[in-house]
């Protein structure tokens, strides 16, 4: 179903992703981090819907449909390393910082900081080229929003 998308993403020198593809790639990465602990909680899925709606100005139904497509893509996507590196090559740094913050929102959505999710998020931040300081700041912003 996503073979063409994945082949474009994994080209040796990928073009910058068109907006629709970038949305789908981010959604798939959000789903991957939510599934990292072996549980895909309803709160995590709802958080992904809200992140996609807010980030892209989508109505709730469109954000939900995007998440469903992202879930299917995530299931077909290769290992996290190749998938994340392909996103890095196609998405500017400033947007990658926002991706890390959104990932922290999902990790914190169910109220449990799981070791598997934390570990995967650290790996993803590194693979996206987001430095430790920016990742920590993104986590802090996500935690602050949750506590307010």
* Domains of the chain, residue spans: 1-90, 92-147
Separation of alpha carbons 137 and 148, rounded Å: 17
Burial-class residue 102 by CB neighbours within 10 Å (0-12, 13-18, 19+).
buried
> What is residue 103's predicted lDDT score, i.e. its pLDDT?
92
104, 130 Cβ separation under 8 angstroms: no
Segment 106-120 mean pLDDT? 86
Above 80 in pLDDT, residue 86? no
Segment 85-113 mean pLDDT? 84
Segment 113-129 mean pLDDT? 89
> What is residue 138's predicted lDDT score, i.e. its pLDDT?
92
> What is residue 25's predicted lDDT score, i.e. its pLDDT?
84
- Which of 18-22, 40-44, 71-75, 105-109 bottoms out in mean pLDDT, i.e. has the lowest? 18-22
Token reading at 45: 């899925």
Separation of alpha carbons 90 and 72, rounded Å: 21
pLDDT in tens, 32-71: 999 988 889 899 999 999 999 998 999 999 999 999 999 9
**Confidence grade of residue 88 (pLDDT, cut at 50, 70, 90):** confident
**Confidence grade of residue 12 (pLDDT, cut at 50, 70, 90):** low
């Amino acid at each position: 179903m996503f073979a063409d998308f994945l082949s474009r993403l994994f080209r040796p020198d990928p073009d910058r992703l068109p907006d629709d593809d970038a949305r789908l790639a981010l959604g798939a990465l959000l789903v991957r981090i939510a599934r990292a602990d072996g549980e895909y909680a309803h709160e995590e899925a709802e958080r992904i819907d809200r992140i996609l709606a807010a980030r892209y100005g989508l109505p709730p139904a469109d954000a939900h449909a995007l998440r469903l497509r992202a879930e299917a893509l995530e299931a077909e996507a290769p290992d996290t390393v190749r998938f994340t590196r392909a996103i890095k090559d196609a998405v500017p740094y400033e947007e990658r910082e926002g991706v890390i913050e959104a990932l922290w929102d999902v990790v914190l959505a169910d109220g449990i900081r799981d070791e598997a999710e934390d570990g995967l998020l650290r790996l993803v931040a590194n693979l996206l080229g987001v430095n430790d300081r920016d990742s920590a700041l993104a986590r802090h912003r996500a935690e602050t929003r949750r506590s307010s």
